[in-house]
Structure 1
Amino acid sequence: MSLWNYGTDVMDAMVELLISLAASSGQLVDLCLEMLVTNFMPPSSSSTHFIELLKQPRGVDKKHQVLDRVHSTFQDIANLVPLTPLRLEKIVRERMPNIYTKEPFIVMYVENMLRLESGAAGKLVGGSMIVAIMDRLIDLDVEIAWDDILQDDFSKGIFDMELEDLEGFSDHVQQDGNELTRESLIQRFFGGNLVAEKLDSLLVLTFEHLESCTESGRLIQVFETLLQSFQKTVLTAYKSKFAQFVMFYACSLDPENCGKMFASTLVDIFVSGVYPAWRMSAVAYLASYLSRAKFVTPSFVATTLESLVKWCFEYCNNQDGDINPKAHKVFYAGCQAIMYVLCFRMKSIISVPRLRSQLRLLRIEDILRHPLKPLQVCLPSIVEEFLRLAKTNGIFAVPDTFADYGMLESELSRAFGGIERLDMFFPFDPCLLRKSDRFIRPNFVYWSMVRSSYYEDEEDESASDEDITEAGVDMADDISVDEDIAHFDEFDYSLDKMSITPRDSSAKFGGRVHGFVQMPSKIRPSTSPESL
């Protein structure tokens, strides 16, 4: 018996009957709730008809007529039977559509779950709805197959540049001799991928719900549930590709509270966690978040780096052995995270005198020169870029030569990354989902933004510390600067106005000197039939 098949008069009579039945006998409550939940979506027997109908104004009106009655009836029954919300929670979770359900229907079901979360019963069932939605996002995410994050043969299918909508050369990538735009690449790898399209639509729905939570002052409450779900499902998922952007977007809506809570949780897991794989995953998330989140201040980045450096330094003091990628993989993951973050954020940190001094005081040099030799174990592409920037900016005393120049990875990096290749896990790489990208892009730092800011320094790598500081100040003419009232020497740079078109079209992670070094965050979508 579906409300979707009848007019408003019949709908009203049916819901009144359900309320009477639920009030008359406790044994009928679950049956009445199940009947209402089945109306979250149109009947499957007429799915094609309703999919077309929902594209029209009268179909949208029909949807509102049905769902408004469904949710008001939930409340009416709850007023008569106090335990209704808890019984409803179980039914909604059990009847949640699987990943193979048609996109309009699974989206509509999740809309109703979010409506319950923000409704009168939200205090009792809201957390459960959020967790169930995150679980389904992960289910969809892992169905989108990738061959590997990176391949040994760099010339086959790996993007030379991050996929950005840029002008000029950086709006295109070279693949098999053909020039392809970002849009055409997304279409090539995701066009017709129904799972990716469902995930994209559900992410947009979740982002919009987070915005409404912000407006109603409930974001922190919802974020605490999201954070718990993240630790149980997303963090432990094998190289989640897109679901984690729910956390990124929530943090962008409230950097001061949600953003700092997220980073602090990741630090705690890395420092005090039990399982090595989870600790390595946590520090990979932390490094990627600090590097990519435009809304994270240089001051907070420096403070968080200090926590990572402190742990790595204490670890070194308790070790007297030599290189052993497998035995010390958590340590190497921490070292790589430090260098990765500095590749993205060194310029913004050293442009603030107080933070520059704070960075100099960190025991990074002692860690890098320890017999465990992290410079030889971490990804060569990250090490090379870090050493180049450190030398250019005169922050650390670094080796003049590095054996693995020009290498994306090495046998040692593969060893510490393990079978999961956590050495190559950069969870907040650019989002390749078309609809979700518009939410992420305004708050996202692309490598070309950072790379262009270092370009002038590359013209004169022998510049003095004073010259470098002046160059950083001169760059501020083209950057939006916010002054921290509490610290007059601290600035938060907006990268919106920076030129993000590299002057050298071959510029990649690793600089122009070694132009063949690939971005370590490149991902290669699978072209196998299973992923299309």
Structure 2
Amino acid sequence: MGMDIDDPNAGYQEMDEVFTDNELVHMVRNALKSIVLGDGKSYHELIGVMHQKGPMSPDEVAMLVTCLKALSGAASSIDLTHHQFLLSTIFSMNLWNYVPEVMDALVDLIVSLAASNGKYVDPCLSMLIKNFSPPYSFARILKQPRGLSIKEQVLSRVHYAIESISRLVPLAPMILLTLVVQRMPRQNDNEDVLLMYVENMFRLERGSIGQLVGSTMLVAVVDRMIDLDLDIAWEDILQDDAGKGIFQMELDEIDDEIEYDGNEPLGAHLNRKGLIGNAVAEKLDSLLSITFEHLESCKAQGRLNEVFETLLNSFRSTVLTAYKSKFAQFVMFYACALDPEDCGVRFARTLVDIFTCNDYPPITRMSAVAYLASYLARGKFVSTNFVVAILRRLIDWCMDYCETQNGDINPELHCPFYSGCQQAIMYVLCFRMRSLVHVPWLKSQLSLMPLESILKHRLDPLRVCLPSVVEEFLRQAKAAHLFTVSKTFVFNSLLESEPSRTFGGLERLDMFFPFDPCLLKKSDRYVHPNYIFWSMVQTSFEDEEESDGDDEGEGTPDGAMSTGDQDGFDIDEFDSALNEMSITPKNYKWGGDMQPLARMPSKLRPSTSPQSL
């Protein structure tokens, strides 16, 4: 049956003849005019075609494609006031529900609408963003080959449309930024929905408009990671046992660990049981994993440095100030692992700059040095030469600080100084001592640094800093013959714990080591090849310790720690006192069969006081 294209009331259901594109556009314009003239039969028939849902026959598909194409040509005739019903219908259409032919026609219509009137840019972009995630009905097939094929068909068209609108409307990228961030799924939303949404954000970041929107996409993803991270309770990770020192924690749950599958380092399972079945932790784990994959693609494209600058700015403003972030910070760790010589160096130097700058509040400086120490200690990719260079800068700063101070111990007043001594110097040397002393010229550089003068200063960092860190450092320093100490210098320092508790404060930042082993299973697979576990720090100091005991009374090399009775120091009395304090067992081994309690912490417990939780 034929149809009069000049008749505004011509019925769409009777369209069985072939019309030219111009004729179809003319017919649709007449339908749009009809509602203004008070006779909207053809207008409502047009909307009826658009409202078709569910499986469609080939004829119905052809009819819908025809109407969408005609509307694209008549986009300038669509009025926001008179055609609200039509616009609402268009913007409610979901690409996931249609075959590719309909998808193409609908995308062209959305682009035409956005280009025809600035008032349509916002709803057009909103409609496209809505398609970042599929309808709930697609959940069961999304990971199947058919579902993956549909996913790519939809998302490729969504991003084509976004990029087309951005080219045609200069202000569109700015509108897009606001909409994408506002519509980002929240912590309690479905994991698959969140992950696919973030995948699309990363696709925008690396797309043709990445220069305009990329940094905002990355910052928003990091912010969501922090939100998830802070929703994970410390109680899910740590046992409330303040009687153990931090060097005893890495194997806290060795007897109860889940079955080791052979693909991850043993330490990766430590304390992970509390996270099994934790929906928030699993969501964060998946989010970290796809972020790591995105960083790998940035590295492959030669633009990791550009992306890292955004991550570094986000770290300074968000992650660094988040109270004891647990896992989100591993984004920085992995980015540095991908490019140690540039990104890795910039990260460490940034942290040093923050720590040594008086313009930052003490708590920020303490947090920065905690990140620095944990990074230098745990990063397998961080060169020993660079560690020495950073240590030299920190030791010089601590020495300069000592020279300006005449008072005695005051943990609250001098907390950045004590953080620099404990978390930046002693803690790093606990991990790096062996690699330093086994290279003569590096050991000579370390020996020339005024470390001993700092430790013997009236501020007495050995008395204030965390006893378990002090003890481990002194054991290694003794075995490495790093410097000479007296009985008073060591023994009395370790017996006093109240200044240490005062120094850490309610936040116990003295017990915060941000890059302790990642307990999230998926993301840990990316981290652990670049990671130093305490169990890997197999020192060779056992033989020297045994040799020192056999040669007692024969003297020590110049500059070495005395093991005899010099200055009244008795190493046996010292060791006995340490064992009574239950910090680290005396009979642990440096090499060979490492005893479980000789490992560094997988995660440090916060203070047991309610205020710190």
Q: TM-score, normalised by structure 2?
A: 0.72
Which residue number corresponds to residue 505 of structure 2?
Answer: 418
Aligned-pair CA distance for 1:355: 1.3
Residue among 274, 284, 289 paired with 1:199: 284
SS at match of 1:427: coil
CA separation in 2, counterparts of 1:525 and 1:106?
Answer: 30
Residue among 230, 238, 253 paired with 1:142: 230
Aligned-pair CA distance for 1:17: 0.9
Q: Which amino acid aligns with 1:372?
A: L
Kindly tell me the number of residue pairs found equivalent between the two proteins: 471
Cα–Cα, structure 1 residues 16 and 207, in superposed 2: closer, same or farther, change >3 Å? same
CA separation in 2, counterparts of 1:195 and 1:500?
Answer: 38
Cα–Cα, structure 1 residues 465 and 288, in superposed 2: closer, same or farther, change >3 Å? farther
Aligned-pair CA distance for 1:155: 6.6
Residue among 233, 237, 248 paired with 2:333: 248
Native 8 Å contact 2:247 2:468 kept in 1: no
Task: Give yes or no for the alignment of 1:99 onto 2:187.
Answer: yes
1:272-301, Cα deviation, whole Å (9 max, x unpaired): 142100000000100110000011111100
Native 8 Å contact 1:448 1:502 kept in 2: no
Task: Give yes or no for the alignment of 1:38 onto 2:119.
Answer: no
Task: Give yes or no for the alignment of 1:116 onto 2:199.
Answer: no
Aligned-pair CA distance for 1:457: 3.8
Which residue number corresponds to residue 61 of structure 1?
Answer: 149
Cα–Cα, structure 1 residues 360 and 150, in superposed 2: closer, same or farther, change >3 Å? farther
State which drifts further: 77-86 or 57-66: 77-86
Q: Which has the higher contact order (CA 8 A, sep 6+)?
A: 1
1:251-290 → structure 2 map (5 Å cutoff) = 251-272=336-357, 273-290=359-376
Which residue number corresponds to residue 160 of structure 2?
Answer: 72
Which residue number corresponds to residue 486 of structure 1?
Answer: none
Which residue number corresponds to residue 391 of structure 2?
Answer: 305
Task: Give yes or no for the alignment of 1:358 onto 2:445.
Answer: yes
Which residue number corresponds to residue 319 of structure 2?
Answer: 234
Native 8 Å contact 2:503 2:510 kept in 1: yes
Native 8 Å contact 2:355 2:366 kept in 1: yes
Native 8 Å contact 1:159 1:173 kept in 2: no
Task: Give yes or no for the alignment of 1:173 onto 2:247.
Answer: no
Q: Which amino acid aligns with 2:453?
A: D
Native 8 Å contact 2:249 2:604 kept in 1: no
Cα–Cα, structure 1 residues 317 and 233, in superposed 2: closer, same or farther, change >3 Å? same
Task: Give yes or no for the alignment of 1:323 onto 2:413.
Answer: no
CA separation in 2, counterparts of 1:392 and 1:88?
Answer: 60
Q: Which amino acid aligns with 1:438?
A: R
Aligned-pair CA distance for 1:87: 1.4
CA separation in 2, counterparts of 1:145 and 1:501?
Answer: 35
Aligned-pair CA distance for 1:456: 3.9
- Runs of at least 5 residues in structure 1 that lack an aligned partner in the other structure: 164-169, 469-498, 510-518, 527-532
1:250-279, Cα deviation, whole Å (9 max, x unpaired): 001110000000000000000014210000
Task: Give yes or no for the alignment of 1:503 onto 2:593.
Answer: yes
Native 8 Å contact 2:205 2:218 kept in 1: yes
Which residue number corresponds to residue 116 of structure 2?
Answer: 24
SS at match of 2:254: strand
CA separation in 2, counterparts of 1:433 and 1:525?
Answer: 19
Q: Which amino acid aligns with 1:310?
A: D
Aligned-pair CA distance for 1:394: 0.8
CA separation in 1, counterparts of 2:258 and 2:459?
Answer: 43
CA separation in 2, counterparts of 1:507 and 1:459?
Answer: 20
State which drifts further: 72-81 or 276-285: 72-81
Q: Which amino acid aligns with 2:361?
A: Y
Native 8 Å contact 1:173 1:180 kept in 2: no
Aligned-pair CA distance for 1:55: 2.2
SS at match of 2:323: coil
CA separation in 2, counterparts of 1:502 and 1:53?
Answer: 51
Native 8 Å contact 2:378 2:532 kept in 1: yes
CA separation in 2, counterparts of 1:305 and 1:366?
Answer: 15
Q: Which amino acid aligns with 1:298?
A: T
Native 8 Å contact 1:113 1:129 kept in 2: yes
1:372-427, Cα deviation, whole Å (9 max, x unpaired): 110000011110111111111111122346447988x9322221111110000000
Which residue number corresponds to residue 98 of structure 2?
Answer: 6
CA separation in 2, counterparts of 1:97 and 1:335?
Answer: 42
SS at match of 1:460: helix
Q: Which amino acid aligns with 1:307?
A: R
Cα–Cα, structure 1 residues 312 and 11, in superposed 2: closer, same or farther, change >3 Å? same
Native 8 Å contact 1:117 1:129 kept in 2: yes
Which residue number corresponds to residue 454 of structure 2?
Answer: 367
1:30-62, Cα deviation, whole Å (9 max, x unpaired): 11001000100013xxx2x32211121111111
User: Could you say which structure has the larger radius of gyration?
Assistant: 2
Residue among 204, 213, 223 paired with 1:125: 213
- Runs of at least 5 residues in structure 2 that lack an aligned partner in the other structure: 1-92, 261-265, 561-588, 608-613
SS at match of 2:326: coil
Cα–Cα, structure 1 residues 184 and 241, in superposed 2: closer, same or farther, change >3 Å? closer
Aligned-pair CA distance for 1:310: 0.8
Which residue number corresponds to residue 477 of structure 1?
Answer: none
CA separation in 2, counterparts of 1:89 and 1:500?
Answer: 54
Aligned-pair CA distance for 1:174: 3.9
CA separation in 1, counterparts of 2:243 and 2:171?
Answer: 59
RMSD: 2.8
Cα–Cα, structure 1 residues 154 and 174, in superposed 2: closer, same or farther, change >3 Å? farther
CA separation in 1, counterparts of 2:596 and 2:195?
Answer: 42
CA separation in 1, counterparts of 2:399 and 2:238?
Answer: 30
SS at match of 2:418: helix
Native 8 Å contact 2:177 2:216 kept in 1: yes
Aligned-pair CA distance for 1:500: 10
SS at match of 1:53: coil
Which residue number corresponds to residue 489 of structure 1?
Answer: none
CA separation in 2, counterparts of 1:521 and 1:412?
Answer: 25
1:329-478 → structure 2 map (5 Å cutoff) = 329-336=415-422, 337-400=424-487, 402-403=490-491, 410-461=497-548
Aligned-pair CA distance for 1:133: 0.6
Aligned-pair CA distance for 1:187: 5.6
Cα–Cα, structure 1 residues 9 and 525, in superposed 2: closer, same or farther, change >3 Å? farther
Which residue number corresponds to residue 154 of structure 1?
Answer: 243
CA separation in 2, counterparts of 1:521 and 1:465?
Answer: 36
Native 8 Å contact 1:283 1:333 kept in 2: yes
CA separation in 2, counterparts of 1:397 and 1:276?
Answer: 32
Cα–Cα, structure 1 residues 143 and 42, in superposed 2: closer, same or farther, change >3 Å? same
Task: Give yes or no for the alignment of 1:218 onto 2:303.
Answer: yes
% identical equivalent positions: 57
CA separation in 2, counterparts of 1:86 and 1:453?
Answer: 59
CA separation in 2, counterparts of 1:216 and 1:421?
Answer: 41
Native 8 Å contact 2:511 2:606 kept in 1: no
Native 8 Å contact 1:141 1:242 kept in 2: yes
Aligned-pair CA distance for 1:154: 3.3
